[in-house]
Structure 1
């Protein structure tokens, strides 16, 4: 795979951005995390007046062969049914994206169903889902590379149309198992620390899922030492395509909004391929999925929200977007001590 060239942020503007933030009519640091967010937006865009344009929510969907091992209380058909729900505008992500003015793209990366054409649907099916990774690699090397490359191209296309903020969500019954396996492999953590209840497993189901992930890791142990090989063997088609899209977004200096556990696992893979992608990432929330907090810590990421979300779909990214708007708006619209004629703190 050709590794994308991603620029690390030029921090030459940091002092000027921080000065502008500090001269706003407020005590130093009084806007908390919004100040760091404003600084990050300014550095990504290399300007003192960051502007957010045409935010797009990209929801990647695919099926997982590992569902046959009983890792989810929901049948595989729910992936297809939820994609139809997205296309009909009835899912939580539709509600929240409408609320904040985000366009939605639903990307079929590998759903085990043939969908009729729809204006919101981007059909880029690499396969009809992954293989059961208890028995075989989740995907072939060619499938994995194809998914990553398509993701990059999709991100480039959205940015070419005028967006500079790409938010990421996902749908795929079984994908918390793939995300947990990737996390365990790439962070060298035990399955127990990475596996959560997903769509609502009881205690017995959770233990079964831990056992399955342990077996998967053992089965593929000799192939888990590089991010691309781990992705191919224990990942998912939507995770691979999303990782590619994240790399593509960073390549074009766009802001990346990372949703929950599965999206963070995709960012983990992307960051192990090109670490500079993290400069462009805003981690929007810490989900209720057990492994997510530990994964965020591994990435040294500070999420904006922690409100118990565990739905996926990009819902946390959509809900956090107004905080980015607030960060950009205070930079552009809030008075400075000088312009407002307010005395600043004396030295």
Structure 2
């Protein structure tokens, strides 16, 4: 769900997304993940890991579920997510569209978290405004993304350990979980991490490292390993680091990365922001139009000085950036057709003079006689058709 709360993400107000797994029998929140922007397969996999693991800080809820019901969200139906469910031997039930009653547990949780927790936070997007004004109050201080995530996790612990939902009849989700005798199926954390990584195929380990997405990834463990075939896995959207496995044995070799320093990343972001502001300013200037005031009936007169040199320079710059204008389709004329082909004269004039292209082997057509050794061939006309 997209939380109806604005939080501060790198100086910009954004509405975070919450992805969580709930247990239908006990109403317990088994796994949760928060992203500053829209959810993706990476957030689903992160929530899945927290839902399966029962060790700190995720326990005691967890274990591999028997069935998972999803609401046709594309982030749940990505190939990486479905492959992870298949490896864990989990049945995925893809619910029909617009059927919230088939997943009432999580829909009830979404309503509860808004009314019991999100509505009291600063930046709540659905609070009434005086005079129906859509803007936020001046001077309102938003929570940082880190603070919002910490408060949400605290509320999740309160929900699991202290809150008593009505269907549980006076018990907390933790008490209902502990009273359930159903055996649990656990997966080691290392294996679970491998299952939830996206497979990027095999690569060759060279002296420059591993080439992946037009970047070279290196690691200290690669010394003396050049020439072997490896399999690359990575967490979706976290391409700053990859996990490398032996292609033949599947043995984990180690991580590899090509991450820039924090100073470089900050400098690049500042440069991009300055360029975006400059482009936005140029766009606004190009769309700004002024007209002269009229004191009598006349056609509108557009104002603004534009010299002939400026117009020519701008048109030349636009021409240089249009690939269709830069194309030269007639730079290299096509070769002459075989002599046995009946080609219209209009097309023959466009071909390169010289030795004709030989006929393919096994052709049944006869070659026309050479003009130097025999009589001239019958001239072709524009009305002649192709062979």
* TM-score of the pair, normalised by structure 2: 0.22
| Greater strand content | 2
Task: Indicate the structure whose relative CO is greater, using CA pairs within 8 Å and at least 6 residues apart.
Answer: 1
| Greater helix content | 1
* TM-score of the pair, normalised by structure 1: 0.24
